[in-house]
Amino acid sequence: MAKFPQVGDDFGAYRITDQIGQGGMGVVYAAEQSGLGRTVALKVLSPQYAAQDDYHERFVREASTLARLDSVHVIHIYDHGEQDGCLYIAMQNVRGGDLGQAIKAQGGLPVREAATVVAQTAGALHDAHAAGVIHRDVKPSNVLLRDSSDDLHAYLCDFGIAQGDQPGLTVAGSVAGTMGYMAPERCRGEVASPASDIYALGCVLWTTLAGRPPFAGTDVEVGLAHLNEPVPQFQETDPLARMVNAVLRRSMAKDPAARYPDAAAMRRDLRAVADRARTRDELRLVPDRGGAAGPGGAAGSGGTGGSHPSSSGHSAGSSPNRRTPPPYRGDAASAGSSAGLPARPGAPRPGGARKAPPPYAPPGGANSRGSSPSNPATPLPRPAPRPGGSSPSNPSTPSRPSNPARPGPPPLHGPGGRPNPPASSGGPSGGPSGQAIAALAVAAAAVLVLLIVVLLTV
C-alpha cells in the first residue's frame, strides 16, 4: 500500500524538512539528501495518480525530459524513481519563489527586471526546443526566481506536460496548458509547436509588466480573446514602451508564421530592452486602455489586452482621466454657462467676445422698432427686396405682393407744392360725402342760432 510522505519523514535517501508547494499532481517538499547534505526540491506524485498508467508515464517523462536538457535557465534534475508506492523527482531547489508570486506582490515589475526575466526564460525555451521539447505550459508560476541580491536568475520548470518526440498524453478532446497563455492555434485544437511557446512567453511578458494576464474572463471568453482580440499594448509615452510593444506584437501575432522564428530571436530583442533600461531601474509601463484589453480588461487586457492586447478599452488615444467638456449652449444661457453650470463673470463666448444685449425700450420710445439701439436717431435701414420676390432675412420665404385693390394714401402736395384737394370718399352710388354732412351741420346750427335771436327780440 502506498504511503504518502509528510514533513519530518524519511523518504528513501531524503529527509523531508518542509513543504514548498502543492499542485494538481502532487506535492513539492524541501528535503535534505543523505550523504551529500544538499537541499533538493522533492516532487512526489499523489498515490491515486501513480497507479494510473497515463499519469505514471507523464511523471517519468518529465524526469527524462529534464535530464537531457542542458540549460542554465532550466531546473536541473538530480534523481528520480519510486519509493513506498509513490513516484518522485529530486530537483534543484531554487529559493526565491516564482514569477507569479513576484507579480502578485509588486503588481507588475519594472521594465528592466521584466525584460531580464523573460529574456532568460526565452533562453530556456530555446534550449528546450533545440532538444526537441515543447513546454506547452509557459506561465509565470512555472518560472522560478533565484533569491540573490546580485542579479536576477530565472529557471523554467514543470515540464510535466511537455511534448517531446512522442504524442502528448492529454485526455482526448482536451488541450494541455493554461488558457490565459494559450496560443490561438492551440485554442482551435491544433498541435503545439515552438511558435505556441513563443506566444505564451509574449503573454508572460505582458503579465510581468502589467500585473495581470492579457485577457480575462471565463475560459471560453479568454479563448475567444486569444483568437479575435488585438495584441495588448502599453501607452507609448517612452521609447522603451515602443520597443516593448514591438516585442508584444511579434511574439503574440495571431499567425504563427508572423511570430519570432525562434526563442533566441525574441531573447535578443528583450536583451536590447533590458540594456536600454539599465539606467532606469524603476521605470514601469502603463497599459493602453484605448486598445483591446479583452473581456474584463484587456486584460486587457488580462484583459488581457487585452489585454487587448487594440481594442478595448480604452476611444483610441484617449486618457481615462480626461473629462470631456460640456457642449456649448447657444440659447438663452449666458456666456460661459452650459449644461446647467453657473456662468463665470466675463467668460468669453465661443466664436467671439461677449456682446451686451440692447436695453429694453417701451413701444414708441427712443429704441422702439425702426430705430437703431446704438443710435436712436438713426432709422434702421429697410432691406431692399431680392430679385425673384424672396425675403432678405429668409431667402426661402417669398415676399408678400402688394394688393392693387388697396392703394396707398395719395400725396399731400401736388405739382408746384400746391395742396391737393381732398379726395372724395363717396361711393359709386352718389351718397353724401363727409364734407357735405359737415356743411349741413354748420347750416343747421346757423339756422338754430337765428331762431333764438328772433325769439329774444319779440
Cβ–Cβ under 8 Å, residues 433 and 446: no
In single-letter form, the type of residue at position 230 comes to P
**Residues of each annotated binding site for ATP:** 43
- The residue behind cell 319779440 is 458
Q: Is 430 left (phi over 0), alpha (psi -120 to 50) or beta?
A: left
DSSP character string of 47-90: HHHHTSHHHHHHHHHHHHHHHH---TTB--EEEEEEETTEEEEE
Instruction: Judge whether 18 counts as a catalytic residue.
Output: no
User: How many CB atoms sit inside 10 A of residue 298's CB?
Assistant: 39
The 3 state secondary structure assigned to 269-280 is: HHHHHHHHCCCC
User: Beta strand pairing status for 14-22 and 86-92?
Assistant: unpaired
| Main-chain dihedrals φ then ψ at residue 419, nearest 5 degrees | -65, 140
Which of 12, 169, 155, 8 lies closest to 90, judged by CA? 12
Cα(62)–Cα(65) distance, rounded to whole angstroms? Answer: 5
Question: In Å, how far are 25, 141, 179 from 21, measured between CA atoms?
Answer: 11, 11, 22
* Kind and range of the H or E run holding 264: helix 263-276
Sorted by sequence, the CB contacts under 8 Å of residue 300 that are 6+ apart come out as 210, 212, 214, 215, 216, 232, 287, 289, 291, 292, 293, 294, 306, 307, 308, 309, 312, 313, 314
- The residue behind cell 533545440 is 130
Cell of 404: 392693387
* Kind and range of the H or E run holding 41: strand 39-45
Measured at the CA of 195, the angle between CA 189 and CA 198, to 5 degrees, comes to: 115
- The residue behind cell 509588466 is 209
Among candidate residues 137, 158, 269, 288, the one labeled active-site is: 137
Torsion over CA: 256, 184, 169, 264 (sign): positive
Cβ–Cβ under 8 Å, residues 329 and 338: yes
Q: Which residues are catalytic?
A: 137
